[in-house]
């Protein structure tokens, strides 16, 4: 695609792991998204989309009105979700801008990069750049990118509150796990239990507990034999008495 | 800023939801008799577009029509944009489904 926005928009979303909107981020939006964001933000606060502070935006739409004054160009853009007024200050030194202007006529699609300006109840976009869309696949691209960035940010916003409980959730799982036969020899299974969460205590695991966790798959005699083998191989050592062993791998 | 009158981006199937409403439909020109044009929609359906009188005829293979849906398979143009001769209808079709489904809140 003939535009650098994709990389910028997506990369900002991915890199802003601190959850703070970065002032240099460029967010692809629809007019509807902009409208929703403005309705949700209060005046003192910056513009927020999905809780991310948004400064620079990129829009794409059809020009339905264009007017030209000595100091600025004013376009009304319709992207199918709504209409918005886009103002661009005239830079007399920019020769490219005036040649582009000939292509920015009513009925053509334009790509806008700019920031949102709120003046009273009036909201408009002040553009850094307005350029005609040459390849209309960019239309598809822009809207899909807006969807992508939005869902990316929404997922991140959802993930934040859950972070505190993330560690707690799996704690109950290992306790029931040994009930399922993981397969393997008595030695392997006993070793797995000693290396499991129960083995982290200072005194290690008592042989009775290992037998119990193996769920009757092996007799106590078999387990003691396996433990003796593991001790001889240097995988386990006895701790407080001859019934408690701890893994050397922890 | 005004989002009170959106023009949803539709494919042939979604047109049925918007009878009597303004929509945007991208179609591939399959032939015209001057007053109507037969187009193939992104989801491979055939739609007859009543062309707006007095506006220049679509000049490229792919055209985006803005207009009112008359019924399944028929619409009346109010304006159009030439989308060129190279346009990926498959991806655009996915966009129309996304914009009228899961991500509808971003579009209307």
- DSSP string covering B53-83, please? TTSPPP-SSEEEEEEEEEETTEEEEEEEEEE
Residues in chain B: 108
In chain A, residues with a C-beta closer than 8 Å to the C-beta of B104 are none
Q: What is the pLDDT of residue A65?
A: 94
- pLDDT tens, position by position, A121-164: 778 899 999 999 999 999 999 999 999 988 887 777 776 554 44
pLDDT of residue A177 exceeding 60? no
Q: Which chain A residues are within 8 Å of B64, Cβ to Cβ?
A: 136, 139
Question: What is the DSSP annotation of A103-156?
Answer: T--TTSEEEEEEEEEEETTEEEEEEEEEEE-SSTHHHHHHHHHHHHHHHHHHHH
The pair phi, psi for residue B79, each rounded to 5°, is -160, 170
Q: Tell me whether A31 touches chain B (CB under 8 Å).
A: yes
- CA of A212 to nearest chain B CA: how many angstroms apart? 50
Structure tokens at A209: 């507990």
C-beta separation of A31 from B3 below 8 A? yes
Instruction: Look at A38 and B8 and tell me if their CB atoms are within 8 Å.
Output: no
Between CA A143 and CA A30 the distance in angstroms is: 7
For A4-30, what is the mean pLDDT?
55
Write down the pLDDT at residue A137: 97
Average pLDDT, chain B: 94
What's the number of CA atoms in the CB half-sphere (13 Å) around residue A123?
A: 20
Contacts of B92 in chain A (CB under 8 A): 139-140
Distance from CA of A139 to the nearest CA of B (A): 9
What CATH superfamily is the domain B9-101? Nucleic acid-binding proteins (2.40.50.140)
pLDDT > 50? residue A165: no
Distance, in Å, from the CA atom of B7 to the CA atom of B100, rounded to the nearest integer, reads 11
Q: CA A34, CA A114: separation in Å to the nearest integer? A: 12
Spatial neighbors of B50 by CB under 8 A, at least 6 apart, are: B35, B36, B67, B70, B74, B75, B76, B77
- Could you tell me which chain B residue has the CA closest to the CA of A154? B103
Residue A233 in tokens: 């191989």
**pLDDT exceeds cutoff 80 at A11:** no
Task: Supply the pLDDT for residue A45.
Answer: 66
Whole-angstrom distance between the N-terminal and C-terminal Cα of chain A? 52
**Which domains does chain A possess?**
5-163 (2.40.50.140), 169-247 (1.10.10.10)
Domain boundaries, chain B: 9-101
Closest CA to A224 of A242, A241, A200, A204: A242
Q: How confident is the model at residue A23 (pLDDT cuts 50, 70, 90)?
A: low
Choose among A71, A36, A64: nearest CA to A50.
A36
Most confident of A16-30, A62-76, A190-204, B75-89: B75-89
Cβ distance of B81 and A108 shorter than 8 Å: yes
A129-138, B49-58, B68-77: range with lowest mean pLDDT: B49-58
Span A105-124, mean pLDDT?
88
pLDDT at A47: 78
Of A8-12, A118-122, A217-221, B97-101, the least confident: A8-12
Query: What proportion of chain A, given as a percentage, has pLDDT over 90?
Result: 28
The Cβ of residue A234 has, within 10 Å, a number of other Cβ atoms equal to 9
Q: What is the pLDDT of residues A52-75, one digit of tens each?
A: 778 899 999 999 999 988 888 999
């Amino acid at each position: 695609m003939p535009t650098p926005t994709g990389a910028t928009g997506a990369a900002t979303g991915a890199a802003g792991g601190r959850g703070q909107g970065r002032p240099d981020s460029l967010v692809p939006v629809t007019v509807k998204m902009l409208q929703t964001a403005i309705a949700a933000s209060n005046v003192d606060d910056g513009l927020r989309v999905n809780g991310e502070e948004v400064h620079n935006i990129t829009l794409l739409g059809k020009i339905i009105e264009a007017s030209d004054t000595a100091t600025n160009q004013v376009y009304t853009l319709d992207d199918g979700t709504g209409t918005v007024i886009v103002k661009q200050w005239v830079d007399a030194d920019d020769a490219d801008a005036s040649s582009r202007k000939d292509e920015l006529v009513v009925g053509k699609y334009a790509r806008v990069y700019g920031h949102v300006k709120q003046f009273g109840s009036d909201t408009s976009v002040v553009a850094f750049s307005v350029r005609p869309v040459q390849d209309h696949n960019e239309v598809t691209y822009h809207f899909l990118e807006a969807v992508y960035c939005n869902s990316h940010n929404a997922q991140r916003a959802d993930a934040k509150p859950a972070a505190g409980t993330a560690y707690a959730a799996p704690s109950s799982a290992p306790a029931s796990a040994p009930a399922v036969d993981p397969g393997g020899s008595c030695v392997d299974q006993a070793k797995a239990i000693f290396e499991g969460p129960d083995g982290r205590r200072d005194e290690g695991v008592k042989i009775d507990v290992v037998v119990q966790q193996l769920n009757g798959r092996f007799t106590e005699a078999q387990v003691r034999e396996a433990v003796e083998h593991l001790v001889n191989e240097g995988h386990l050592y006895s701790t407080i008495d001859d019934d408690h062993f701890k893994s050397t791998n922890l | 800023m005004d989002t009170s009158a959106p023009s949803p981006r539709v494919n042939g199937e979604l047109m049925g939801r918007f009878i009597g409403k303004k929509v945007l439909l991208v179609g591939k020109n399959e032939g015209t008799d001057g007053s109507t044009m037969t187009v193939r929609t992104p989801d491979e359906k055939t739609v007859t577009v009543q062309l707006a009188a007095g506006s220049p005829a679509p000049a490229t293979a792919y055209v985006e029509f803005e207009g009112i849906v008359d019924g399944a398979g028929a619409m009346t143009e109010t304006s159009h944009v030439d989308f060129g001769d190279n346009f990926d209808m498959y991806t655009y079709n996915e966009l129309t489904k996304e914009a009228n489904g899961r991500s509808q809140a971003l579009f209307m």
